[in-house]
Amino acid sequence: MSASAPTAVICGIGGYVPPRVVTNRDLEAVLDTSDTWIRTRTGIAARHMIDPGTATSDLAVEAGARALVSADGAPADAVVLATTTPDRPCPATSPEIAARLNLGPVPAFDVSAVCSGFLYGLATAAGLIAAGAASRVLLIAADAFTTLIDPADRSTAVIFADGAGAVVLRAGDPAEPGAVGRVVLGSDGALGDLIQVPDGGSRRRFPGPGAAPCDPYFRMRGRETYRHAVHRMTEASRAAVAAADWELDDVDRLAAHQANGRILATVGEELNIPEGRRLANIERVGNTGAASIPLLLAQSAAEGTLAAGHRLLMTAFGGGLAWGAATAVWPDVKAG
């Protein structure tokens, strides 16, 4: 890429959660769990869940429309959706979103990187802009994660939830507020079994010969995942901050994937970023998968805890294993 390739600049933000709120007390009624266990082990008090009939695209269209309004309503010329829960296995969900948002015959495709999907999508969108393939990308991260959850599995059913977040990225200059710094990404597929939906793909199809016993649900080996999450998010964060020519002390706001309140605290402590600079909404939304970071940005911007000029560090970790981090100076945008 030439030195003059355009940089992706954030110019719009939007978030959406479905209206139904499920509290820890609601879960106590159906699972062998307790409000105390969930709060102390995860930091979650409530989350939003879709009702039957609602799909990922419904969440994505809401968040995408809000981000477009926030970006002054100018249309996007590409749509990227990060999700683990597409409406259908085939085709991608993004073209339908582009059509429902009346964006015309723009390029549209999905990115699959589980809870790191937003940062993988950010790198992808920045690449489209740098390559001149698009000048204004609508990047949406949306998950109807509860559609993958085994309602009887208390180790995941209390954590994962539904939501969407979106940003509009336009072609700009690296010195502008909103310019996205180098997106640091990584993966370790040797540990892919730690977080997986075992069946339903090409390896173990269902129904079919040899398919039983069949497990179509999301499974996570939480304790082992925890250790990797802290290490990888810390490491990627340091690399992203160095790439921006910042010191960790320069970081005004940390927006980490809302996986677990204890993980967020440990990552913050390892990076020496005090609690007052760590954005958090896990208590009220739980773990919303790919949507986690942009939803957090949208809610924080709307509430004023994230403001223009803040030096922002984002980091995520999840299934793959896959992780990432990126920086930006938060621009003067109204949250949609």
> How far apart (Å, rounded) are the C-alpha atoms in residues 145 and 54?
12
Choice between 177 and 222, CB closer to ligand UT7: 222
> How far apart (Å, rounded) are the C-alpha atoms in residues 135 and 82?
19
Cα–Cα separations (whole angstroms), residue 258 to 98, 283, 293: 27, 9, 7
Q: Which of 23, 112, 135, 155 binds ligand UT7 (CB under 6 A)?
A: 155
> Is residue 194 a contact residue for ligand UT7 (CB under 6 A)?
no
> One symbol per residue from 309 to 328: x for binding ligand UT7 (CB under 6 A), - otherwise; what is it?
--------xx----------
List the structure tokens of 73: 């309503």
Q: How many binding residues for ligand UT7 (CB under 6 A)?
A: 19
> How far apart (Å, rounded) are the C-alpha atoms in residues 126 and 116?
16
SS3 135: coil
200, amino acid identity? G
> How far apart (Å, rounded) are the C-alpha atoms in residues 152 and 202?
26
Q: What is the DSSP letter of 291?
A: G
Q: Which of 24, 56, 70, 225 binds ligand UT7 (CB under 6 A)?
A: 225
Q: What is the DSSP letter of 278?
A: B
> Is residue 37 a contact residue for ligand UT7 (CB under 6 A)?
yes
> Is residue 260 a contact residue for ligand UT7 (CB under 6 A)?
yes
User: Which residues share a beta bridge with 191?
Assistant: none
Using CB under 6 A, which of the segments 6-14, 87-95, 179-187, 217-225 binds ligand UT7? 217-225
Catalytic residues: 115, 257, 287
In the region spanning residues 272 to 301, those forming contacts with ligand UT7, defined by CB under 6 A, are 287
Using CB under 6 A, which of the segments 103-111, 225-233, 247-255, 294-302 binds ligand UT7? 225-233
Q: Which of 118, 226, 323, 330 binds ligand UT7 (CB under 6 A)?
A: 226
> Is residue 229 a contact residue for ligand UT7 (CB under 6 A)?
yes
Q: Which residues contact 3 (CB under 8 A, 6 or more apart)?
A: none
Taking phi first (over 0 means left), then psi (-120 to 50 degrees means alpha), and beta for anything else, what does residue 125 get? Answer: alpha
Choice between 107 and 222, CB closer to ligand UT7: 222
Choice between 41 and 284, CB closer to ligand UT7: 41
Cα–Cα separations (whole angstroms), residue 44 to 2, 161, 226, 334: 46, 11, 16, 27
The residues that touch ligand UT7, with contacts defined as CB under 6 A, are: 33, 37, 41-42, 115, 154-155, 158, 222-223, 225-226, 229, 259-260, 263, 287, 317-318
